[in-house]
Amino acid sequence: MTFLIAALTLGGMQVTKRMTLPIIPEPVSIRYEDGHFTLGPKTTISAPSELASLAEMLKEDIGPAFGFDLPIVNHGDSDSIHLTLDKKLARLGVEGYTLRVHAHRIEISAPETAGVFYGIQTLRQLLPTESFRKDKTENVAWTVPCARIEDYPRFGWRGMHIDASRHFMPKEFILKYIDLIALHKMNVLHFHLTDDQGWRIEIKKYPKLTSVGGWRKESMAGHYGEHRFDGVPHGGFYTQEDIKEIVRYAHDRFVKVVPEIEMPGHAQAAIAAYPELGNTGKPLDVFTEWGVDENVFNVDDSTIHFLQDVLTEVVGLFPSEFIHVGGDECPKTQWKASPEAQARIKALGLKDENELQSWFIHQMDTFLASKGRRLVGWDEILEGGLAPGATVMSWQGEEGGVAAAKAGHDVVMTPAQYTYFDHYQTQDHKAEGLTIGGYLPLRRVYGYEPVPKELNAEEAKHVLGAQGQLWTEYIPNPKRLEFMGFPRTCALSEVLWTPKKERDYDQFLSRLSVHLERLTALDVNYCPLGLPK
Ligand code: TNX
């Protein structure tokens, strides 16, 4: 990466502008050339009709700071930013693109629209960081260095997760989070919508899931074992209209939204709404503690049908091929004590409660397959046997991912020690504020290798990619979520996009220091690099 210092004269005023070309994630190949393109009042964006909405997005992204109109035209010539689809570039894959900056013309070309979108994200990062501001910014040289870039991602699943159950996150913030995911060329939002502490998605057939399950009396304060509660009611949910808006917004930015409906554990909010779904028949409140909860769904036919009805509405709202059914942390205490669960084990000829859990997930796998979808679940779904169509998220280390890939199943790597962004990122806990625990500094995220070394080349093809997790027990609001998520998300984006051999932490850090100016302009409350690592 070349660092250029250019002294520019603007309106008689001397402006020193760093032109560092700090792109995150780092593209596959960049060749810089002499000269630069200058955006000015005559600049247009030229796009065929299939790319008109992307042209509009580019205009909205850079127009406000730049202050000129940037008209969108059909056939621009000189001084134009050209967006084009070119099937001859098929070798770059469905997300690849080329970006050419000449002195009087910029060309973004790709075989598919997703690639044009990613080319636009790169172009935004070739402009001065001020271009990310939302107000007209004077005295900036709006130049783009001449360059040839060819780029495509290493992995197809480049995900970020958000837990909207432990703390509800407003729809407006989910949209901002999608923008940030897309800026980093990531393409999956894993939307954790249900858990013990709150059910966050409107289900028309079962309105109490949100009217009762969407609210809790208070939340646990401090760490487990301190037995302190804050006395503050908490709740909220997304209407189906909200969900449609989120899915559409994400789709326009090439982000797939994978919903998660937790079962058979992490179910207390649903059982609070409909006690017949539980094992004890006793009324329950929505859970106010964090941690693993013993109240899990029962295994009656009516409960299986209830959850399949829920999934029917979920499938109707989310076009995602993958539907996440959780499957993690399901204590077996209640099933051991339940005559119905024991009768089910006997009737099905199962060995134990682990096999019962596997049977439960299997019911959902078959159901989702009948709707043309694929089930994904946390690695506990391996216990008692993996359902035939299941994809595994390996969170308890890499072992689950290795086992699933060796058995021919697809996996998404989510090991806690590399991808749990709810863990501390510094050693200055006082400055950082309370988190759930752990320690995952930026360098460690950057150094993560998603393909476990235990896999041979054939098995490694089952590793779809990886994903960062933002569990929100100790993340009460969007600003805190930004603090925990950034800049670790920037590091993960590069792990997932950039060829392994191009990764260099020190060089990443120097690019990041400029990238953080963009995040400031976007009002992202990132964790500053100065805190002790
Ligand atoms: C484990 S990861 C959980 C979550 C917690 C998280 C906190 C997983 C599948 N289960 O329920 O929120 O740890 O880090």
Let me know: does 78 contact 104? Beta carbons within 8 Å.
yes
Asked whether residue 177 is assigned to any structural domain, the reply reads yes
Both 127 and 161 in a single domain? no
**Amino acid found at 192:** H
Q: How many Å lie between the centroid of ligand 1 and the Cα of residue 422? A: 10
Q: Is 329 a catalytic residue?
A: yes
Report which of residues 179 and 17 the model is more confident about. Answer: 179
Ligand 1 contact, 329 CB (< 6 A): yes
As beta bridge partners, residue 378 has: 393
Which residue has the least CA distance to atom 10 on ligand 1? 328
Asked whether residue 343 is assigned to any structural domain, the reply reads yes
Ligand 1 contact, 422 CB (< 6 A): yes
Both 486 and 340 in a single domain? yes
Q: Kindly state the average pLDDT of the residues 137-147.
A: 94
> Cα–Cα distance between 237 and 165 in angstroms, integer?
9
Model pLDDT, residue 14: 34
Q: In 3-state terms, what secondary structure has residue 374?
A: strand
Which residue has the least CA distance to atom 5 on ligand 1? 471
- Among 329, 392, 474, which residue has the most ligand 1 atoms within 8 Å of its CB, making it the best to mutate? 329
Q: Is 355 a catalytic residue?
A: no
Both 145 and 167 in a single domain? no
Q: Does residue 517 surpass a pLDDT of 90?
A: yes
Let me know: does 373 contact 358? Beta carbons within 8 Å.
no
Q: How many Å lie between the centroid of ligand 1 and the Cα of residue 266? A: 10
Both 274 and 296 in a single domain? yes
| Tens-place pLDDT, residues 405-452 | 999 999 999 999 999 999 999 999 999 999 999 999 999 999 999 999
Model pLDDT, residue 19: 43
Q: What is the pTM of this model?
A: 0.96
Both 456 and 401 in a single domain? yes
Ligand 1 contact, 471 CB (< 6 A): yes
* Virtual torsion, Cα 58, 63, 69, 72, nearest 10 deg: 0
| Tens-place pLDDT, residues 342-367 | 999 999 999 999 999 999 999 999 99
**Amino acid found at 532:** P
Last residue of a domain, one of 129, 151, 173: 151
Q: How confident is the model at residue 7 (pLDDT cuts 50, 70, 90)?
A: very low
Residue 393 CA: which ligand 1 atom is closest?
9
Q: How many beta carbons lie within 10 A of that of residue 415, not counting itself?
A: 22
Both 112 and 164 in a single domain? no
> Cα–Cα distance between 377 and 253 in angstroms, integer?
25
Q: How confident is the model at residue 502 (pLDDT cuts 50, 70, 90)?
A: very high
Model pLDDT, residue 198: 98
Asked whether residue 82 is assigned to any structural domain, the reply reads yes
Ligand 1 contact, 360 CB (< 6 A): no
Where does residue 19 rank: exposed (0-12), middle (13-18), buried (19+ CB within 10 A)? buried
Both 90 and 191 in a single domain? no
Q: Does residue 167 surpass a pLDDT of 70?
A: yes
Q: How many Å lie between the centroid of ligand 1 and the Cα of residue 471? A: 7
Q: How many Å lie between the centroid of ligand 1 and the Cα of residue 470? A: 9
**Amino acid found at 267:** A
Asked whether residue 531 is assigned to any structural domain, the reply reads no
Q: Does residue 11 surpass a pLDDT of 70?
A: no
Asked whether residue 527 is assigned to any structural domain, the reply reads no
The HSE-up count of residue 256 (CA atoms within 13 Å, CB side) is 15
Residue 423 CA: which ligand 1 atom is closest?
14
Last residue of a domain, one of 123, 151, 179: 151
Compute the mean pLDDT over every residue in the chain, rounded to the nearest whole number.
94
Both 428 and 310 in a single domain? yes
The structure tokens listed for 130 are 């001020």
Which residue of the set 195, 196, 353, 459 is catalytic? 195
> Cα–Cα distance between 29 and 104 in angstroms, integer?
22
Q: How many Å lie between the centroid of ligand 1 and the Cα of residue 17? A: 45
Domain count of the fold of the chain = 2
Which residue has the least CA distance to atom 14 on ligand 1? 471
Q: Does residue 2 surpass a pLDDT of 70?
A: no
Let me know: does 101 contact 146? Beta carbons within 8 Å.
yes
Q: Give the least confident one: 11-15, 176-180, 219-223, 519-523.
A: 11-15
- Among 163, 197, 219, 328, which residue has the most ligand 1 atoms within 8 Å of its CB, making it the best to mutate? 328
Let me know: does 341 contact 280? Beta carbons within 8 Å.
no
* CATH number for position 364: 3.20.20.80
Which residue has the least CA distance to atom 2 on ligand 1? 395
| Tens-place pLDDT, residues 206-260 | 999 999 999 999 999 999 889 899 999 999 999 999 999 999 999 999 999 999 9
Both 396 and 293 in a single domain? yes
Asked whether residue 75 is assigned to any structural domain, the reply reads yes
Residue 438 CA: which ligand 1 atom is closest?
14
Q: How many Å lie between the centroid of ligand 1 and the Cα of residue 289? A: 13
Q: Which residues contact 458 (CB under 8 A, 6 or more apart)?
A: none
Among 367, 196, 171, 361, CA closest to 284? 196
> Cα–Cα distance between 128 and 186 in angstroms, integer?
22
Q: How confident is the model at residue 74 (pLDDT cuts 50, 70, 90)?
A: confident
Q: Kindly state the average pLDDT of the residues 57-72.
A: 94
Both 283 and 322 in a single domain? yes
Asked whether residue 53 is assigned to any structural domain, the reply reads yes
- 48-71 burial: b if 16+ Cβ within 10 Å, else e: eeebeebbbbbbebbbebbeeebe
Which residue of the set 300, 329, 352, 502 is catalytic? 329
Ligand 1 contact, 474 CB (< 6 A): no
> Cα–Cα distance between 100 and 89 in angstroms, integer?
14
Q: How confident is the model at residue 107 (pLDDT cuts 50, 70, 90)?
A: very high
Both 114 and 14 in a single domain? yes
Asked whether residue 119 is assigned to any structural domain, the reply reads yes
* CATH number for position 119: 3.30.379.10
Ligand 1 contact, 328 CB (< 6 A): yes
Which residue of the set 161, 192, 234, 266 is catalytic? 266
Q: In 3-state terms, what secondary structure has residue 147?
A: strand
Q: Kindly state the average pLDDT of the residues 178-182.
A: 98
Residue 380 CA: which ligand 1 atom is closest?
9
Full residue range of the structural domain in which residue 174 is found: 157-521
Q: Using the 8-state DSSP alphabet, how is residue 182 labeled? A: H
Residue 453 backbone phi and psi in degrees, to 5: -70, -15
Residue 354 backbone phi and psi in degrees, to 5: -65, -40
Q: How many Å lie between the centroid of ligand 1 and the Cα of residue 112? A: 36
Among 500, 393, 391, CA closest to 453? 500
Both 184 and 134 in a single domain? no
Last residue of a domain, one of 130, 151, 172: 151
